[in-house]
Structure formats: structure tokens, C-alpha cells
A and B are shown apart, each in its own frame.
Chain A
């Protein structure tokens, strides 16, 4: 046989090339541990549909632009901090309601879904393309890391995501040092709220934001006001604002005019007389990535905001 091969070098080269290539294709198939069992993803997915804000964030962070995504809460497009990556991304529904026909029309070869996706929807979608549903489904501050890692693994970019997460952790540690140096122990409690005229809604201390703030050395409370598994509380009565009157107050708004929202809140005498308002330690922040989105890019933006506010 060797004699035949040597006599036809083209065929030999072709054979070797074929073996090498098929080996690498085999190496490119990944098995993921998802909430609904093992999911196998082959090769490099080109048409990725991201049905979860954390998935959009993770995908864009590792350099893969999804072809379709869900509208972020409160608007009809992607979150503003994703604006520069939003061109050409089709919107296929909202977090409450997926447009299954639009998703199928996108001919996806990978679907990255929310940890809260119900089994029935998962079954439908997995018949269209491999669907990745992260296992985390209770609000925990570090969920974003395991979710992002899973999505990156599906996209074949696990190493890059590890780097990004490590970058966030390192930056947080550095900022934490500076914050601890700048503010004493008793000056570092904080609340994250959304202000409504009837009273503030306290954000859960189990969200990404709270986890990051804790890493930075700020102690985030929700004072037992947020029930298990809910992202925020019911509006607190105006008589109870003393419960959120601590050292720092991060005021999240769903639209951009954070300063205007702060002025509007100050019109309420109950708000204006809080000590944290009088000491000017109320920081308006963009609710879209402080309370709605999640992922490595959102994490970096939150660190940006805290750095600008606490270490001007």
C-alpha cells in the first residue's frame, strides 16, 4: 500500500489532510451541562440567538454578535449600554413573551436561553437548534459568572470568558482596596432602589449588582424586604424611608435621565429629608444594567459607575 501511496502523492496528502481536519472537527464538539441535561454543540456557531440579557452580554463580550435577541425590559430594543453592538440584531420578543416564529425564521444554529425558561419552551426550541439553559435559577450574586462561562463554552470561547471574569474580579479587588482606604467601616452600607411616587422599590441584594458591590467592600442590604426569588420589593411606604436611609443610595432609573429622576424624587418631602439625600450621597444609576442586565460587560460598567461616584 505504501508503494501505491508513494506513487500517488496527491491522494496521500488528501488522505492526511482529511484525517487531520476531521480530528479537529471532532475536537470542536462540546458537551454542555445545562439545566435540562447534556447538550452537544458542534463547531463554531454562526447564527446565535440570545434569549437572555446575560447571553447577549456574554456573547458580545467574547466577540460573537448574536443575530437576534430579546428586547430589554422597558424598551423595544437592546439595553442602551449595548447600543454600539445593536445594529442588525433582530428583536424576537420580550422576556415575558418570545416570538417563536421569529426565532425559527432566524435559522439559528445555537440558542442561548434564560435560566428561567420553562421545559415546554425548551423542548420546542431545542428541536430547532441546540438550546443552552443555565442551571442557576435562584437569585445569587455569583450566578452571572457560571452563566457567562456556560454561554462562552457553547460559543467555543471558554478561555476568553475566564479572562474577562478574572479581569472583573481583579478590578473589583483593586477598587475595593481604594474604597476601604477612603471610607471607614461604618460608612459603607448601601441600598439600591427604584423610586416611585408612592415609595421606593428596594432591589434584591442577591442580584449581580449587589454581589459586585459586596466585592467592592460596600455592604448592600435589602433589609429583609425582598421576598425570596423576587428581584425587588413592593413599594415601601413613605413612612418607612428610614429603613433605606444608610450611607449610600443608588437610585436606579429605567430611562436615561438619572439626574432628572433624582430631582423629581427630591420633590417628595419624605425623600428630601433623608440623611443620605442631605449628605448628597444619592447616586443616580442606569437601571438597565444595574437591575436588569447581567454579564461581564454590565459588570464592568457597574464598576465604572461606582468608581466615578465613590472615588471621583
Chain B
């Protein structure tokens, strides 16, 4: 007896989809090494990968394209997983990590740091991360929850209100301090250009912590989807699980924003698509988010390099341009994937 007729109708085996996504991701990353906004074309880049190639080509592929591809992969994975977690915790398919006030918190922290004298080129990655965490804590505090588990709706509302407040404060700061507005305008549209592996290593501890937390709460989250009473009956503690999930989201989004700036849409669209492919089980969705998130981000990054040579488009613009039609297609093609 195969276990295909034990699996619920409408969901498919995870492994083939995962494998296909990973292969596609590998291909896309390879293409990312071959294509760029400069003169090093695919042929030259291929030569580098095979061990030969001029100094210039080796520099471009090794120091510019490789780091940004890796950064893109990490940013895509963290944003997608954080989106999936938040949607599971708030039982809301429209939840986006930005709703917790984390992106707005990062942006405000960076604006404040620039206004106080830091420079965009040497800004420490931890500034944005601390901003994200503080934003999240404020949202939690504003919702006045004794244990987050009580009311996800209140959390979303508090987070949305806090985001709006922080965005308004950031705009105010930028209007008053025109020097900061000048420096921040390229950070705030999001980009992985010029990011090095050093930046990645700086966010590694917090992303690792978030990863560990996610692994620990994946199963309780799946139980939570069956309803609070069932979850409690199974021995889980919904309040704690939700709190940990929110903390994980803050760490993940804080890390991604610290490295690449605020990037919209990935945290909203990718979990949607993952869920429509994987079914309602949060664990399968999380697995599928791992390759799909980076796929979207790296494709967006490749496009950002080829569309307006010799300059580059900001990444945030392209993720929105890719994400919106994908979202529309998912919504139209099947029933909305339930949580």
C-alpha cells in the first residue's frame, strides 16, 4: 500500500516539487554568475568558472556577482520563511512581515543613524537589526497581550498601526534632515548590489538563531492549525509558540533588511505560492519556501542588472513587478489556499 491514498486530496508529494525547485534555483544562480550590467558577458564568465579568464572577469564574477547571488539567496529564504511563519501565526493569508513593524523599524533606525552622523557606505548591519527587533517589541507591547497567543488580530492591528507611525516618523526625519534624505534614498529602495559576504556573516548569528527557533516550533505550529484546543490537548503551548514565531520573524526580517534594505512582496507572495503547491501543512510550506524565496529574489536581481544597463534597477521595484502577477495568477488559478 502506497501512502498516496492516505495523503489528503489536493496535495501532492513534496519531494518532487522540492527537487524541481532546487534544480531551478541552482540554474538561476548559475545564470546570475553569467549575466551582469557590465562588459563581462556569459562567455567570459563561463571561462572564469572553468578556471581561466582575465583578471577583470575573475574579479567581477568572484567579488561582485557571487556575493550578491549568495546574499540574494539568503535574503530570499529569510523573507519567505518569515512570511510563512507570520501567516501561520496570524491565520491571515495577507499577512506580510512588514505588518509587525519590523521593516518600518529597520528603516527608521537606519534613517536615525544616518541623521546622527553615520554614512551610508559604512553603516553597521546591526543598526537595522536592532530597529527591527525594537519595532517588533513595540508592536507586541502595543497589543498588550499576556502571551501573544490570545489574539492574532490585535497583533496585526497593532503592528500595522506601528508601521504607519514609524513610516510617518521616518518621512518627517527625512524632510527635516535633507542630507539624510539624500544618503538614504538608495538604501530605502532595496538592493543587493555591492553587498559582500561580510555583511552576511554579520547577520549569521541572528539568522541561525531564528532558524533553530523555526525548527523547534514547526511542529507545534502545524498542531496549532488544527485549532487551539486541539493544540493544547496535544501538549503544546499556543501562547509561547506564537511568541517564538514572532521573535523568529523579527530576527529573520531584521537580518534581511539589514543587508539588503526593505524588500517588499517576497514575504507575501512566496508563502502563498508555496502553500498552493504544498498544501496546508506549515512544515511543507516552510520547506518549499526555502528554494522559492531565493528563486524570486535572484531572478529579480538578474533582471535588475539587464534592464537598464549600464545602471541597475532597484531590487524592490522588481520583486513587486514579479510578485504582483504571480499573486494574481495564484488567486485566479485555484481556490485560495487555506491556512
What is the interface of chain A, defined by CB distance below 8 A to chain B? Answer: 71, 73-76, 94, 195-199, 225, 233-240, 242-243, 254-255, 260-261, 264-265, 267-270, 273
Contacts and interface: CB of A to CB of B under 8 A. Distances in A.
Contacts of B11: none
Contacts of B38: 237, 239-240, 242
Given A196-B186, A197-B121, A270-B64, A236 B311 contact: yes
19 contacts: A76-B176, A196-B186, A197-B187, A198-B193, A235-B186, A235-B312, A236-B310, A237-B36, A237-B305, A237-B311, A237-B312, A240-B38, A260-B119, A264-B119, A264-B122, A265-B121, A267-B121, A268-B194, A269-B63
Contact of A237 (B176, B187, B309): B309
Contacts of B106: none
Contact of A73 (B59, B176, B178): B178
Interface string B62-79: 011000000000000000
A161 to B, nearest CB: 30
B194 A197 contact: yes
B122 A198 contact: no
Contacts of A236: 310-311
A269 B64 CA distance: 9
A76 B181 CA distance: 12
B63 A198 contact: no
A236 B121 CA distance: 16
Contact of B310 (A197, A198, A243, A255): A243
A198 B39 contact: no
Interface in B8-60: 36-40, 56, 59-60
B63 A270 contact: yes
A235 B189 CA distance: 13
Contacts of B182: 73-74, 254
Interface residues of B, number: 30
B179 interface: yes
Contacts of A195: 121
A75 B179 contact: yes
B74 to A, nearest CB: 18
A71 B176 CA distance: 12
Interface string B160-195: 000000000000000010110010001100010110
Contacts of A260: 119
Given A75-B178, A198-B194, A199-B311, A240 B37 contact: yes
B60 A254 contact: no
Nearest to B308: A234
A242 B39 contact: yes
B138 to A, nearest CB: 29
Contacts of B137: none
A94 B178 contact: yes
A278 to B, nearest CB: 13
Contact of A199 (B119, B176, B193): B193
Interface string B244-262: 0000000000000000000
Contacts of B305: 237
Contacts of B37: 237, 239-240
B122 to A, nearest CB: 5
A283 to B, nearest CB: 18
A199 B191 CA distance: 11
Contacts of A273: 59
Interface in B113-149: 119-122
A279 B56 CA distance: 18
